[in-house]
Amino acid sequence: MGIRAGVVGTGLVVMSLLSAGCNDGSPTVDPQDDPVVDPSDGNEVPTLPPPGSIPDAGTLPPGEDGGTPDAGGTPDAGTTPDPDAGTGETPDAGPWPTDAVLDYTRSYGVGKPQSVGVDEGLNLWLLDGRRIGVLRPGDTAPTWTTGVGQAREPFGPEALAMSSSVICGGEAGRAYVGYTANEMKRAEGIEQRTYIPWRGEAGYSPERFAEYQKGDLDAVRVQPDGSVTLEEHLWRTTGASNKDRQAGIHNTNDFHYEEDRSVLNCARVTRGRDRGDLYITTNHGVTRVQGLTYNSHRHPGWYLFEDGSEWGSLQCPYMHGLGIAPNGDVLVANEQMLGVLVPSPKLEEWDRELTWEGPTPWKFKSYNDALNGQTTDDYWRAFEQVSSGRYYLGSAEYGVWALTPKSRSAGNWSKLAGLPTNRILSLKATDDGALYIGTNGAGLWRLEADGTTLTQVREVSGQRVLQLVYEPSVKPSMLLVLTDQGLTVLRGP
């Protein structure tokens, strides 16, 4: 949609193009013949909308309050502190078997979950529709709990979520569960579809306000008996406008804009300065979470000017690709563009968009010009960096591509040869320099550190590799491989 300033409803003024968000009403955008903005311009497009319009939500500096303190929650699930002093390394193998390959679906009866995660206490978390499972060290089978948080009622268009999506471990005993929700519909008298008036404001309606409650992210806790309870539906953020407004994840700079409704991917930082931070990707961008406090959001968007219009439409499609580089950089890829972000230590600085400068700059921001034009979807599903420094992206339609940046906005691209399919669902770089490749239909593959040698990992059952989760804090390390046949754990990659 084109973004412009104007009066909304009765006395409500559209704050900014930033707050209004992107043209992300669907996961795909048909190719068009309109001129494409050079990605080197970043968010500083030369022909921006006229004065008075607003930059995209999530890029203006947040409030000065520094955020709301963590709400705490129930104590950790009896896990002893990690003796690594924050380095992410443990002196032993941890509590799980050290078999090179072990089928946890057969050995522990974990079934065929849709998503898996591991927390700092090495509890294994499982997500299966409205069920959350926990396999704790010492357990012989997971304990399942149904109907927690956003899943407390059956999924559907009128419910709190359309579906559950992903689960990621947090601190010991905590996990985060993501949900999806339908895109917002533009209400009568409200120009921006993501704009939702608060109680007492012009244009408020209980029905539209109920949209604030849908989708987003739950923090859950495991109890002493292995059951799971809701700790909190995340709502605390660093923006002053959102202070004390318990209404889920919204634009950090202006709570009126409901943009991050569907969580598509998640990743916990497992070592280094930011160990324990969580990143989630959504239908709009990438949001950073520390404990129970979030800052939303960043995205490698670009402006499309149609039919000579002076109103630029900010493009930021659904974002599935997410990775954490060895040095802590955050790797993100939506359907059309990708970027490498350098996070600052301060959560409140995550959304300060100054493109190449500022506290959280883009190290790289571009698209694969060797594959498609910028208006054509590349269907990125995974983004990793191996220990050699080379980046890899996996596409649901176009295979695996290696990237070596040659500037901040352009790179050398080459397609990886030798795979039996172009349909990629997951990637994971491991400490031995390898890259594991999860395909949709041809099982799990391993690319050696030399960047050319490919072998199929036949010991892992299943043809669709849904998710790869790496836990390097134990030695040998753990690679969780979730397929259509269940969960297998590899030790030592």
Q: What is the CATH number of the domain that holds 486?
A: 2.130.10.10
Residue type, 292: L
User: What whole-number distance in Å separates Cα of residue 243 and Cα of residue 236?
Assistant: 7
User: What whole-number distance in Å separates Cα of residue 22 and Cα of residue 399?
Assistant: 27
Residue 263, domain member (yes or no):
yes
Residue 70, domain member (yes or no):
no
| pLDDT attached to residue 334 | 97
For the segment 195-232, what is each residue's pLDDT rounded down to a tens digit?
888 888 988 999 888 988 999 999 999 999 999 999 99
| Domain tally, the chain | 1
Q: 248 is in which domain, residue-wise?
A: 7-27+34-64+102-491
Q: What is the mean pLDDT of each run of 10 residues along the chain (493 residues)?
A: 27 30 40 30 30 32 33 39 49 93 98 98 98 98 98 96 98 98 71 79 89 94 98 95 89 88 97 98 96 95 79 85 98 97 97 93 97 95 98 98 97 98 98 98 98 97 98 97 98 96
Residue 69, domain member (yes or no):
no
Residue 174, domain member (yes or no):
yes
What tokens were used for 100? 């090179």
| pLDDT attached to residue 63 | 33
| pLDDT attached to residue 39 | 30
Residue 189, domain member (yes or no):
yes
Residue 72, domain member (yes or no):
no
Residue 80, domain member (yes or no):
no
Residue 81, domain member (yes or no):
no
| pLDDT attached to residue 225 | 97
Structural contact between residues 312 and 302, judged by C-beta atoms closer than 8 angstroms: no
| pLDDT attached to residue 127 | 98
41: CB partners within 8 A, 6+ apart? none
Structural contact between residues 217 and 247, judged by C-beta atoms closer than 8 angstroms: no
pTM above 0.85, yes or no: no
